[in-house]
Amino acid sequence: MPHRYRPDQTKVVLAAEGDGPRLVAHCDPANPTAWRRNPIYTLLKQQARATWGTGMSVVAKAGLRLWLIAPDEDIDLGDVDPRSPFRIEQAKEGGPIEVTVLPPIPDSDDVEAHLARCARTPDEQRVGCGAADLGPLHFR
């Protein structure tokens, strides 16, 4: 790893993780926006541009706080449970981005089964995530 990307220099640890391909910039909680400083920010934006629309996401995380890094904007998702999957939708290239944070996946649940219950019907209504569920959070 080049010296300029080392965590002791940037206060950010880069890792690939998640239920799908995801690049995560884990920030030191004492420096929650360290991901916004170069050279890390430039690297994250390059990755976001190179992988946008491929199913890979680029995010920054500090504690529970999560930001989606898109090619043209950064979206603050607030505090997100680490077990909560999220869906990214963009109607057309350059159009508005909608991020839906789904309810946390119970430890006893299968990821695919949980996501299927939280799927939308053709008329864009969400179905069956459980009676206690208050619904997903939407961000634009």
| pLDDT at residue 133 greater than cutoff 60 | no
pLDDT above 80: residue 109: no
Please state the domain count of the chain: 1
User: Exposure of 111 by Cβ count < 10 A (0-12 exposed, 13-18 middle, 19+ buried)?
Assistant: exposed
Q: Which two tokens stand for residue 66?
A: 């999560």
What is the extent of the structural domain holding 43? 3-139
Residue range 8-32: mean pLDDT, rounded = 87
Q: What is the H or E stretch that residue 111 is in?
A: helix 111-117
Q: Tokens 């680490």 — which residue?
A: 82
pTM of structure: 0.76
* DSSP codes of every residue in 13-61: EEEE-SSS-EEEEEEPTTSTTGGGSTTHHHHHHHHHHHHTTTT-EEEEE
Q: Please state, as a whole number, how many other Cβ atoms lie within 10 Å of the Cβ of residue 17.
A: 12
